Amino acid sequence: MALLQISEPGQTPEPHARKRAIGIDLGTTHSLVATVRDGKPVVLRDRQDRPLLPSAVHYTANGVDAVGYEALAQAAEDPHNTLVSVKRMMGRGLADVRGLGKQLPYRFVDSDGMPLIETAAGPKSPVAVSADILQALAMRARDLLGGAIDGAVITVPAYFDDAQRQATRDAARLADIRVMRLLNEPTAAAVAYGLDRGGEGVVAVFDLGGGTFDVSILRLHKGVFEVLSTGGDSALGGDDFDRAVAEWVLQQAGKHDDLSPVQYRSVLLEARRARECLTDAQQVTVNCPSLGWQGTLSREQFEQLVAGLVDKALRACRRTLRDAALDVAAVDHVVMVGGVTRTPVVRQQVQAFFGKPPLVDIDPDQVVAVGAAIQADVLVGNRSGDDLLLLDVLPLSLGIETMGGLVEKVIHRNTTLPVARSQEFTTYKDGQTAMALHVVQGERELVDDCRSLARFELRGIPPMNAGVARIRVTFQVDADGLLGVTAREETSGVESRVTVKPSYGLSEDQIAGMLSDSYTHAADDKEKRALREQQVESSRLLEALSAALQQDGEALLSAAERQQLETAMQCLRAAIAGDGLPLLRAATDALVALSDPFAARRMDAHIRHALQGQSLDDLTREKQP
């Protein structure tokens, strides 16, 4: 007699069967996909046994002609239709992309401020190009794993903002990939090294890829990965090293302004080849037939060319350690991620900075995909979630605009994700029935110095006196770093919400400068905030006193007293219009002192009016149940 297997509702009839989960490292120059087999993460290779897929797509009039190595081979011959390094354009506006200049030799089309790239197959968005790359990776995974993919974890730079993360999700959706989570690249690397070594302590993840640089400080303890701080530069990577070499080549060849896009692309490709060769060789022959030039580049010359770029990365490391309230000596391990970390000068400078040799046991090109595969295996249900706990952090503070153009931070940077925080606000004017809410991102004290994320309105607030309404604003950031904001008036229950999906990302200057500006202008911002807060408070005093004078001024004040108050009010208005905080505080204190007797008389008069015609017995009966 055979046994009949019965499956519970919602469960597979084959409970022993493993689900197919993959981790994808969607990189600027190269991408790859990994999975977990027999309990071990492995990178999936193509039919030529190559683990990497160049992040390049070549288009013809018929659509996608090639993805990967075959597409990259077309880059020099057909640069306008061979799209590479599109990760740098993900979630960015047209102005930001055009600012990259000849780094991207493409013809752009404006689509409501979003960049579309003209190709033989028609205009293509960076999201669509990324979707074609993801589709090629998913196809490789389906072929090797023998079926449909149940879920994927895709990695993104830690400094990707909301727009760039959303663009990555949109690309995956176009590629028909179910994204279980977006995982920060440095965290993915820590997952790979942490699980393999069972290590504990503080880890610095130095991630220098083709187009972005990230550094994260993590604390590892008993399987818990907590990100203490993140930093980096989303516009620093191997592409910049290649451009430094290319500029040297152009200088040596005496060529600059008269270069065509085809010539410049060929120079960039030769510069990349030279950089990679210098990882093992002391010098390399650089041959640029398109320029009619050939020369020799030594490793020493190369290191001089890229010294400023390496210093830029180390400055970001210093800032990130400071954010984590740690010094260099507290770091136990340094993990190297990204193909550019093979460069000897990078490894030497990182070792000198941290005072210890970096970990390079796992291929730096593959370590991020390995970590993503491990996390995907957990999230899809093949392993217990207790095996791994990831605690990412918010890279920049989120807040809301208050009166005076001030920023009230609701969730501070480096807060562990996912997170939800609420704060109560109130109305500024009597009878106010609507409120405009402005969501911002950044570290500065004034709205003008931060980045605007979204605006929405809350309507239907019951008319009340200023300061009586209770508006509860809730910020919720999910594990992928995507933000939702809800505003609710507590007495009536009216509610409004917005999901923040910005149409473009931060510019390069904004990303690089937001944190440094917050330190540079800290003292100045503190003074400006104090001034704005006092201006708002003084304006509220003037508004309340003006209303009181209009209502009770003639009955309760003599002409001389009223004149004194109005003179003091005029002085305060002048002080508000100025920029001197001590003078403003003095003028406010003077008006408060003059208006206190008037306020006391108004209170007495209102109490007498309320009690008029009532006896003590009446009041006693009102208090009895």
Confirm if 66 and 57 have CB atoms less than 8 A apart. yes
Whether residue 172 is contained in a domain is answered as: yes
pTM of the model: 0.59
Mean pLDDT of all residues in the chain?
80
Predicted confidence (pLDDT) at residue 625 exceeds the cutoff of 60: no
Cα–Cα distance for residue pair 567/289, rounded to 1 Å: 82
Q: Is residue 16 part of a domain?
A: no
Is 25 an annotated catalytic residue? yes
- 542 in the same domain as 424: no
Neighbouring C-alpha atoms within 13 Å toward the C-beta of 446: 17
Within this chain, do residues 186 and 54 fall inside the same structural domain, yes or no?
A: yes
Range with the largest mean pLDDT of 70-79, 326-335, 427-436: 326-335
Q: What is the pLDDT of residues 232-260, one digit of tens each?
A: 776 788 889 999 999 999 988 887 667 77
Query: What confidence score (pLDDT) does residue 617 get?
Result: 57
Q: What is the pLDDT of residues 172-191, one digit of tens each?
A: 988 999 998 888 887 888 88
Domain count, the chain: 3
For residue 622, is it within any domain? no
Mean pLDDT of 88-108: 71
Cα end-to-end distance, the chain, whole Å: 79
Residue 350: CATH number of its domain: 3.30.420.40
User: By the 8 A CB rule, do 337 and 155 touch?
Assistant: no
In this prediction, residues 398-419 reach a mean pLDDT of 79
Q: Is the pLDDT of residue 20 over 70?
A: yes
Question: Per the domain annotation, does 468 fall within a domain?
Answer: yes
Is pLDDT larger for residue 190 or for residue 507?
190
| Average pLDDT of the residues in 430-458 | 80
**Domain annotation covers residue 423:** yes
Among residues 509, 533, 559, the one where a domain terminates is 509
Whether residue 185 lies in the annotated active site? yes
Domain identity same for 343 and 403? no
pLDDT of residue 312: 92
Q: Which of 87, 255, 409, 501 is catalytic?
A: 87
Q: How confident is the model at residue 195 (pLDDT cuts 50, 70, 90)?
A: very low
Which member of 25, 78, 96, 239 is catalytic?
A: 25
Whether residues 341 and 413 share a domain: the answer is: no
CB 244 within 8 A of CB 272: no
Domain shared by 505 and 531, yes or no: no
Q: What average pLDDT does this structure show over 70-89?
A: 87
Residues 75 and 188 in one domain: yes
- Structure confidence at residue 353 (pLDDT): 96
What pLDDT shows up at residue 70?
A: 93
Please indicate, yes or no, whether residues 385 and 446 belong to a single structural domain of this protein. no
Is residue 513 pLDDT above 90, yes or no?
Answer: no
Q: Looking at the structure, tell me whether residues 207 and 349 fall in a common domain.
A: yes
Residue 480 is a catalytic residue: no
Let me know: does 317 contact 233? Beta carbons within 8 Å.
no
Q: Band the pLDDT of 7: cuts 50, 70, 90.
A: very low
Confidence of residue 134 (pLDDT cuts 50, 70, 90): very high
Average pLDDT over residues 567-588: 79
223 and 130 within one domain: yes
- Which residues have CB under 8 Å from 509's CB, separation 6+? none
Task: Name the burial class of residue 99, with classes exposed (0-12), middle (13-18) and buried (19+) by CB atoms within 10 angstroms of its CB.
Answer: middle
pLDDT value for 481: 67
Same domain, 378 and 405: no
Flag whether 244 is in a domain: no
Give pLDDT, residue 196.
Answer: 40
Output the pLDDT for position 583.
79
Domain annotation covers residue 155? yes
Domain endpoint, select from 328, 362, 391? 391
pLDDT of the residue at 508: 39
Domain range enclosing 416: 398-509
- Identify whether 87 is a catalytic site residue: yes
The pLDDT tens digits of the residues spanning 213-236 come to 888 888 877 666 677 888 877 678
Q: Which residue out of 96, 132, 170, 185 is catalytically annotated?
A: 185
Q: What confidence score (pLDDT) does residue 391 get?
A: 55
pLDDT over 50 at 489, yes or no? yes
Render pLDDT for 380-405 as a digit per residue (tens, 0 to 9).
877 654 455 555 667 678 888 877 77
Same-domain status, 105 and 124: yes
Per the model's pLDDT, the better-predicted residue between 585 and 225 turns out to be 585
260 in a structural domain: no
Return the pLDDT at 413.
75
**Domain containing residue 592: CATH number:** 1.20.1270.10
Taking the C-alpha atoms of residue 71 and residue 206, their distance in angstroms, rounded to an integer, is 30
Domain identity same for 532 and 568: yes
Indicate which residue of 96, 132, 170, 207 is catalytic: 207
